Amino acid sequence: MRRDSGIVRGLVDWLTGGLSARLDFLERDVDAIQREQAGMTRVLAQHHQELAEHRTQIQQQMDSMIALRKMHAALSEKIGQPFPGKTCLKCGSPMVFRRESEQKAYSLSCIQGCGERLLLPEAQLLETFARSAD
């Protein structure tokens, strides 16, 4: 029996040793997968944050474009009209409101064309419109 028990014991040790080695490999694989998942989670979180920031920037640009179009529509009736209370310092003629699209601005210039001109950038006008809407 002793001989049989030694063989059985050896067989059991051999089997459990193999299972232990397999369990060690499984534990290492699970650890590696968990580390990979943690890394992927960090990358995905970073990408999500970047996309959220990009979406916010696009929304702000869209809001700005809409506000700019509204301002253009509101001022379109005034283009070519004399600006009340503003006269040319050189000749005393009325100053006319004009759109300077290539400069992204509006201007007040002398109706006689004597050269005096006041440039009003769209960005500043837009801020003024935004403040007056609040």
pLDDT digits (tens, 9 = 90+) for 28-45: 999 999 999 999 999 999
Give the strand order in the sheet containing 117-121: 82-87, 94-100, 105-110, 117-121
For residue 108, what are the contacts with CB-CB under 8 A and spacing of at least 6? Answer: 83, 86, 95, 96, 97, 98, 117, 118, 120
pLDDT value at position 115?
75
Looking at residues 91-114, what average pLDDT do you find? 90
Alpha helices in 1-134 (DSSP H): 2-76, 122-133
CA distances from 111 to 41, 89, 97, 100, 118 (A): 65, 12, 9, 15, 12
Task: Name the band, by pLDDT with cuts 50, 70 and 90, for residue 3.
Answer: low
pLDDT tens for residues 45-100?
999 999 999 999 999 999 989 999 999 998 999 999 998 888 888 888 899 999 99
pLDDT tens for residues 5-32?
777 777 777 777 777 778 888 899 999 9
Residue 1 scores a pLDDT above 50: no
Confidence (pTM)? 0.61
